[in-house]
């Protein structure tokens, strides 16, 4: 594959970027002394930058998105054919790929029946929040408007989703936020001492972390709480899987207090953990499931809010009461490229058995990372599910004090120098992002996994000795 790029175009693109682009989560002062990385090509697990340098992408497009890898001709062809047929019509009408992808998606989600298309993970979450609020008004006389969210979880960049944001540092300077969003404690075993629960382990801690949700419901008044919104495996908050016992108890609590369960699968959805959806790892029965990134692996923008017939029925009646239906619209929810791409994306995962590959490669990577943990004292914890893994770097394994983010960023840069792109996260604490994160495409081979871990090993030695 030819990864070179025309020199003249290259300088023009870099100049245009520096003059006019506003990159996300980025301090642009850095571009006064360096050039941005421009990704010009991608194939399989690999991407090439403007200098022709090849990288093994261990983060699926930076933010765990390109689940089936780059350069999938059959997805591109399906999108092209669909766009030539009809690119768009508002979702007041239907479309062929819209209906067929909804049918296919639902076939992977027993218990769910309805799909609402939208553009982004944030927007999908907002749709569910709005439904919860409307149900509160329709069914509970304006009570049950409160939406619980968890410390360390993230649900989006809009103001309502930030109101449900469990990472204060991301929210600083953007308030005030929407009312009636209430925080519950995290379920992170590695940092259970923050909750005063260091004496509990495994299942006991899992149940106690869920019981803490019940305490919040009782404190707020169950008659005021409409929904609980959780990530199945917390992503940006530090790659956190809940301990055993947690989800079972969460489900019981939701049932007991008539609280709708909203699972945010924006990262875990469509294969990332080794099952179609993260919640399916834990036997959860959600009322809302939202998804975005992996739905079409980034080949087109598409997000979905999926719910049950029970919820759907609440918005249906024959009284022609104009207040009774879901009064919401998403202009680009009517783009046909998204579901056209998503249909082929899902077919690829089936045909190439990528869920099993994800589970197997995830195990291999977890093993490799655990070996690195034995070798490098700086790795305090290794965790995750499927090809969605994190390695938390600490100054001291006893105190669990995070390493300075600059050091974690140096590890990322060292991996980059070796041609491997990894990420770093953890609550977005300024200066404290200390969890290396890995989310290679589901097509990763054993060699790819070993190459990633080898680069991390060398980078850790270089930065920490």
Residues that bind ligand PMP (CB under 6 A): 63, 120-122, 125, 154-157, 231, 235-236, 264, 266-267, 292
44 or 271: CB nearest ligand PMP:
271
160 or 378: CB nearest ligand PMP:
160
136 or 267: CB nearest ligand PMP:
267
40 or 292: CB nearest ligand PMP:
292
235 or 437: CB nearest ligand PMP:
235
Query: How far apart, in whole angstroms, are the C-alpha atoms of residue 177 and residue 149?
Result: 14
Q: CB of 390: closest distance to ligand PMP in angstroms? A: 13
Query: How far apart, in whole angstroms, are the C-alpha atoms of residue 23 and residue 38?
Result: 11
Q: CB of 434: closest distance to ligand PMP in angstroms? A: 18
Which single residue brings its beta carbon nearest to ligand PMP? 121
Q: At 210, list the tokens.
A: 């869920």
Beta-ladder partners of 256: none
Q: CB of 123: closest distance to ligand PMP in angstroms? A: 7
98 or 294: CB nearest ligand PMP:
294
Q: At 94, list the tokens.
A: 């239907």
Q: CB of 134: closest distance to ligand PMP in angstroms? A: 21
Q: CB of 122: closest distance to ligand PMP in angstroms? A: 3
Q: CB of 155: closest distance to ligand PMP in angstroms? A: 5
167 or 434: CB nearest ligand PMP:
167
Q: CB of 274: closest distance to ligand PMP in angstroms? A: 17
């Amino acid at each position: 594959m030819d990864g070179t790029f025309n020199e003249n175009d290259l300088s023009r693109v870099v100049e245009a970027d520096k003059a006019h682009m506003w990159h996300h989560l980025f301090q642009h002062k850095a571009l006064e002394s360096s050039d941005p990385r421009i990704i010009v090509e991608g194939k399989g697990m690999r991407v090439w930058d403007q200098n022709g340098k090849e990288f093994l992408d261990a983060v699926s497009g930076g933010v765990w998105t390109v689940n089936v890898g780059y350069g999938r001709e059959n997805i591109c062809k399906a999108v092209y054919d669909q766009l030539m047929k009809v690119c768009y019509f508002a979702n007041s009408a239907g479309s062929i790929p819209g209906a067929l992808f909804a049918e296919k998606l639902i076939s992977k989600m027993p218990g769910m029946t309805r799909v609402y298309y939208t553009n982004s993970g944030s927007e999908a979450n907002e749709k569910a929040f709005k439904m919860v609020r409307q149900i509160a008004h329709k069914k509970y006389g304006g009570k049950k408007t409160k939406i619980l969210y968890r410390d360390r979880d993230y649900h989006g960049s809009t103001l309502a989703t930030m109101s449900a944001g469990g990472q204060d540092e991301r929210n600083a300077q953007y308030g005030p936020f929407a009312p009636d969003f209430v925080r519950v404690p995290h379920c992170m075993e590695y940092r259970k001492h923050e909750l005063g629960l260091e004496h509990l382990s495994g299942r006991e801690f899992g149940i106690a972390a869920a019981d803490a949700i019940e305490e919040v419901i009782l404190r707020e008044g169950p008659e005021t709480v409409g929904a609980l919104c959780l990530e199945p495996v917390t992503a940006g908050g530090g790659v956190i899987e809940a301990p055993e016992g947690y989800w079972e108890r969460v489900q019981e609590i939701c049932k007991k207090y008539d609280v709708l369960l909203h699972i945010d699968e924006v990262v875990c959805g469509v294969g990332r953990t080794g099952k179609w959806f993260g919640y399916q790892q834990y036997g959860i029965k959600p009322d809302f499931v939202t998804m975005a990134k992996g739905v079409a692996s980034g080949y087109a923008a598409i997000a979905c809010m999926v719910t049950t017939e029970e919820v759907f029925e609440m918005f249906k009646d024959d009284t022609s009461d104009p207040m009774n239906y879901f009064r919401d619209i998403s202009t680009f929810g009517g783009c046909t490229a998204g579901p056209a791409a998503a249909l082929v994306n899902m077919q690829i995962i089936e045909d190439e058995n990528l869920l099993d590959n994800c589970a197997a490669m995830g195990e291999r990577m977890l093993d490799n990372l655990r070996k690195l943990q034995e070798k490098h004292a700086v790795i305090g914890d290794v965790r995750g599910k499927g090809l969605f893994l994190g390695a938390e770097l600490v100054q001291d394994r006893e105190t669990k004090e995070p390493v300075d983010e600059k050091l974690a960023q140096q590890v990322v840069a060292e991996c980059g120098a070796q041609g491997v792109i990894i990420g770093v996260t953890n609550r977005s604490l300024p200066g404290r992002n200390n969890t290396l994160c890995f989310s290679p495409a589901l097509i990763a081979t054993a060699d790819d996994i070993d190459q990633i871990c080898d680069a991390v090993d060398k980078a850790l030695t270089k930065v920490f000795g």
